[in-house]
Chains A and B, each alone.
Chain A
Amino acid sequence: DIQMTQSPSSLSASVGDRVTITCRASQGIANFFAWYQQKPGKVPKLLIYAASTLQSGVPSRFSGSGSGTDFTLTISSLQPEDVATYYCQRYNSAPQTFGQGTKVEIK
């Protein structure tokens, strides 16, 4: 199985900071890749698909990049409402797998 490794597992940043989360696939997955946001007690929400395409309605401070094995989610200016756990996911083949999550907090 292709494994997804996210880093860091958690981070604390100040409002307005630029935040970067990375995800590495153990094998190349082209850009069959997504990022999700899960706020505490809430349902996961799709942020980005195809590695860099912003899902409709998602604020433009979120962006995704990468292809192949290395992917990045960037929040250009962290806001209080961005406190959440972020998951990466590959969907190039079964079994689709998620990363272990990155918990983002406000400093």
Chain B
Amino acid sequence: QLQLQESGPGLVKPSETLSLTCTVSGGSISSSSYWWGWIRQPPGKGLECIGTIYYSGSTDYNPSLKSRVTMSVDTSKNQFSLNLSSVTAADTALYYCARQGLGIRAAFDIWGQGTMVTVSS
């Protein structure tokens, strides 16, 4: 059964870079049938898609965050990563990684448990 697990620092200082990794187990990140995404949820608020990445390295970022976001994939480790630069308190959120299908099936069907990231000095 496919599982995703986020990892990374829980506290990041303002203006620094938030870095998270999602490890995929029970399946291959190199499947041609899926994209892999990052979604975040500020405390008490709704969901925001940060972006998605394909195993080939193709990316699709939310334009509102595009200038600060970099995603990468490491197929040898079955992981994909998120870097968000120049963070502020507004980036404090629960960060999820998730699997996304293709075409009409492109909803996020499997999610990690989420990791809370707080931006504070």
Contacts and interface: CB of A to CB of B under 8 A. Distances in A.
B4 to A, nearest CB: 10
B107 A89 contact: yes
B55 to A, nearest CB: 18
Classify chain B's interface size: 20 to 34
Interface residues of A, number: 23
Contact of A43 (B60, B61, B104, B113): B113
Contact of B104 (A31, A87, A94, A99): A31
Interface string A35-70: 010000001111001100001000000000000000
B contact patch SS: mixed
Interface of A: 1, 31-32, 34, 36, 43-46, 49-50, 55, 87, 89, 91, 94-101
Given A43-B111, A49-B105, 20 more contacts: A32-B106, A34-B107, A34-B108, A43-B112, A43-B114, A44-B47, A44-B108, A45-B111, A46-B108, A46-B109, A55-B109, A89-B108, A91-B100, A91-B106, A91-B107, A94-B61, A95-B61, A96-B52, A98-B47, A98-B49
16 contacts: A31-B104, A34-B107, A43-B111, A43-B114, A44-B47, A46-B108, A49-B101, A49-B107, A50-B104, A89-B107, A89-B108, A91-B106, A94-B60, A95-B61, A98-B48, A100-B46
